[in-house]
A and B are shown apart, each in its own frame.
Chain A
Amino acid sequence: AQTVTQSQPEMSVQEAETVTLSCTYDTSESDYYLFWYKQPPSRQMILVIRQEAYKQQNATENRFSVNFQKAAKSFSLKISDSQLGDAAMYFCAYRSGAGTYKYIFGTGTRLKVLA
């Protein structure tokens, strides 16, 4: 069975600085997708960035980028130029490409942004 691990329950970053959130996963599959979701105090889960396992190039969305290390089964999220609005819970998620609808989530990392 697949698992997703986020080893940092909480992180802090100064406004305008860069922070990296860690995520590791375990799978025997070769076809899968990885996601980072943000959950602000409003509680809505917002898709931040996604990565297809078959793509070697790391995904980037504005200030958000990932470091996808397939062999190491690592999928970290880098937030550059951190803003107060980035403060939220961040969840890493895995989805198999093999005909399942299910996401497997990590336990989340709470990010605090300090002014």
Chain B
Amino acid sequence: EPEVTQTPSHQVTQMGQEVILRCVPISNHLYFYWYRQILGQKVEFLVSFYNNEISEKSEIFDDQFSVERPDGSNFTLKIRSTKLEDSAMYFCASSEYGTGGASGYGYTFGSGTRLTVV
């Protein structure tokens, strides 16, 4: 069964450093997402991406965050200057369909990248 692949599985970074989290969505999917889960808390939406642009973002997704699809297969989340509170599990997801009547099909999530900011 097709999978969403995320690398690395765990990353430790110094506060203030830039970090790039990488994802390879399912090949025929057109919609891409990032979610995060702070330890012991809810999974929260960060951003959705379609047709090489952000289609929706949450209030969490401020100027320190950016997303990119640098080539035909990868989808990245960059955090420019990491803070301690950015420590979380970051999940990438993809879907074949977007909003509207196809919303019910659900996403395929990756296994996540655990980011630890020290």
Contact = CB atoms under 8 A, between A and B. Distances in A.
Given A97-B100, A105-B42, A47 B106 contact: yes
A95 B103 contact: yes
A80 B56 CA distance: 38
Contacts of B98: 101
Nearest to B106: A47
Contact of A101 (B44, B55, B105, B109): B55
B65 interface: no
Contacts of B45: 101-104
A35 B111 contact: no
B111 A43 contact: yes
Contact of A43 (B55, B89, B107): B89
B104 A33 contact: yes
Interface of A: 33, 35, 37, 42-47, 50, 52, 91, 93, 95-108
Given A47-B107, A105-B44, 14 more contacts: A43-B111, A43-B112, A95-B104, A97-B99, A98-B99, A101-B45, A101-B48, A101-B98, A101-B99, A103-B35, A104-B45, A105-B42, A106-B42, A108-B42
9 contacts: A44-B110, A50-B104, A97-B100, A99-B100, A103-B35, A103-B43, A103-B107, A106-B42, A107-B42
